[in-house]
């Protein structure tokens, strides 16, 4: 039984899985948005959010722990200097997963994994429900 076993195995050995997830998170830090399969995105999201939490701490021990997980000091520096500072007022939920549909070759569910930006959140909350595009009925009709 796999009770309380939370590791998503992804059909790989532990070293291969750790390398894959570190690479995905480093690409997410660098490119701000990546396209991957749904199981990989869910596993990478967990690691990315833990890294942002370390970045918000900002001390030397947190930086060394992040470097040991991600293995790319340049990306860790970018994480600590820019991305973690963007999420200072936020206590979690730093990433979002947007589904794109099925991949044509093997029918795998493809998604976009991206950072939730503070500006996008405030802009989305300021849009009124009646101001949406798409021809919805208004309250006056």
- Residue 32 covered by a domain: yes
Tens of pLDDT, residues 43-93: 999 999 999 999 999 999 999 999 999 999 999 999 999 999 999 999 999
Residue 117's pLDDT is 83
Residue 33 bridge partners (DSSP): 114
Tens of pLDDT, residues 79-95: 999 999 999 999 999 99
Report the CATH number that the domain containing residue 70 is assigned in CATH: 3.90.1030.10
Residue 134's pLDDT band (cuts 50, 70, 90): very low
Domain that holds residue 20: 14-122
Residue 112's pLDDT is 98
| Joined tokens for residue 108 | 């795998």
Which of 27-41, 93-107, 108-122 has the least mean pLDDT? 108-122
CA dihedral sign of residues 67, 71, 77, 79: negative
- Residue 132 covered by a domain: no
How many folded domains does the chain comprise? 1
């Amino acid at each position: 039984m796999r009770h309380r076993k939370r590791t998503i195995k992804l059909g790989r050995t532990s070293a291969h899985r750790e390398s894959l997830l570190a690479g995905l998170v480093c690409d997410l830090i660098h490119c701000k948005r990546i396209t991957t399969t749904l199981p990989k995105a869910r596993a990478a999201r967990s690691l990315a959010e833990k890294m942002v939490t370390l970045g918000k701490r900002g001390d030397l021990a947190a930086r060394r722990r992040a470097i040991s997980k991600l293995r790319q000091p340049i990306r860790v520096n970018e994480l600590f200097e820019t991305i973690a500072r963007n999420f200072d007022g936020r206590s979690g939920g730093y990433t979002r997963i947007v589904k794109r549909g099925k991949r044509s070759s093997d029918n795998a569910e493809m998604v976009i994994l991206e950072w939730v930006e503070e500006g996008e959140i405030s802009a989305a909350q300021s849009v009124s429900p009646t101001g949406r595009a798409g021809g919805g009925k208004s309250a006056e009709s």
